[in-house]
Amino acid sequence: MVDPSSGRNSAADAMRSRKRFVSYRLRGEYEKPWLQDPKFKRTKINNYIIWGFMALGVAAAGAVAFLQIRGSLPTEMCPVYEDEFQDGKLDDSKWNYEVALDGFGTGSFDWTTTDSSNVYVDGKGLHIVPTLTNETTSITSDQLYNGYTLNLTTEGTCTETSVSSCSIRSNSTLGNMIPPVRSARINTMGKVGLRYGRVEVKAKVPKGDWLWPAIWMMPLDSVYGEWPKSGEIDIMESRGNSVDYPGGRNVFYSTLHWGTSSTTDAYWKTQKVRTMRRGDFSNSYYTYGMEWDEKYIYTYFESRLTQVLYTNFYANDPLWNRGDFSATSVNNTLATNPWEISNSTSGNAPFDQEFYLILNVAVGARNGWFA
């Protein structure tokens, strides 16, 4: 800037008035006695040790990451079955309906049907939709509680064999009630099975209190006996309740069931939880998967790199040992090993047999699933 009264450049004057930078760095030769101090040498050695361990840590982390990624690389597998549910109807060459009244052992409140209001396929895929019994049948609200006989065997629709699974008479005095909700359950039993391999299902969890969606597998043949001796693989189980409910639809579980009886089921040793911190699993379609061979079973969410449950099998530590079943008893009788007849060499019985896939949405339960 130029001062008009003097004609001088004030900016230039300001620059000239600044002091010249003076370095205080020592010049020439001078003594450095600290270099002769033994402690200084030890400090340098200590630094080298620290740097060495840091380098080893970085190398070890890289090796672990590499091995994990290499172990998760896609392996060669032959497709057994793929269904996009786009044909407008369920492929009955691959899928079965399960029709029953008794809640399939969990005490759920739904009656599973083949009704198109409960299970159907359209351009958006497969839908399993629970409905109220008194709104989708001729059964009235009063008849749900008293004086109505429902016999699925007579109708020719029941797929189970026990009387309690196929028929019921409502009786308000005895507390017998027609299931107030109807839903659906389908499986691939006898049509598509798997003994080792990979399963992926892309699904959206339903919204609604007391809904119980599940993607799971059961053994084709109960080689080792009744449940849970022959095992169960739960890829995904969730609840339709809001996120305010403990374990609502922002949470799903992956579980293996195995044990010598229903009271010694060791599922708690092989169960993991996946939680969505923002949003919930009803917001969109997500991929739920499971990979299985004689050495391990693991489930994953969206990607094989995002594991949920991982269970290794060891020949020298079979599930009989890991469950500590030798010390358990039922009705004052010590448990016997149901898996000793297995010819598995990896200790993975009962998960060494063929399993089939089940998709369903149950409603309610009396087994503690809804606490």
Q: What is the pLDDT of residues 270-325, one digit of tens each?
A: 999 999 999 999 999 999 999 999 999 999 999 999 999 999 999 999 999 999 99
Of the candidates 337, 342, 334, the one whose C-alpha atom is nearest the C-alpha of residue 323 is 337
Q: What are the DSSP calls for 24-81, one per residue? A: ----S----GGGG-HHHHHHHHHHHHHHHHHHHHHHHHHHHHHHHHHHTSPP------
Q: Which residues contact 175 (CB under 8 A, 6 or more apart)?
A: none
- How far apart CA 235 and CA 238 sit, in angstroms, is 10
143 class by beta-carbon count within 10 Å (0-12 exposed, 13-18 middle, 19+ buried): middle
pLDDT beneath 50: ranges in the chain: 2
Confidence (pLDDT) at 47 = 82
Quick one: fold of 96-363? Jelly Rolls (2.60.120)
Buried/exposed code over 29-39 (b: 16+ C-beta within 10 A; e: otherwise): eeeeeeeeeee
Buried/exposed code over 147-172 (b: 16+ C-beta within 10 A; e: otherwise): ebebebeeeebbbbeeeebbbbebee
Confidence (pLDDT) at 335 = 94
Confidence (pLDDT) at 16 = 59
Confidence (pLDDT) at 24 = 78
Confidence (pLDDT) at 30 = 73
Confidence (pLDDT) at 36 = 73
Alpha carbon of 243 to those of 248, 268, 329, 330: distances in Å? Answer: 5, 23, 39, 38
Confidence (pLDDT) at 75 = 64
Confidence (pLDDT) at 109 = 97
Confidence (pLDDT) at 231 = 99
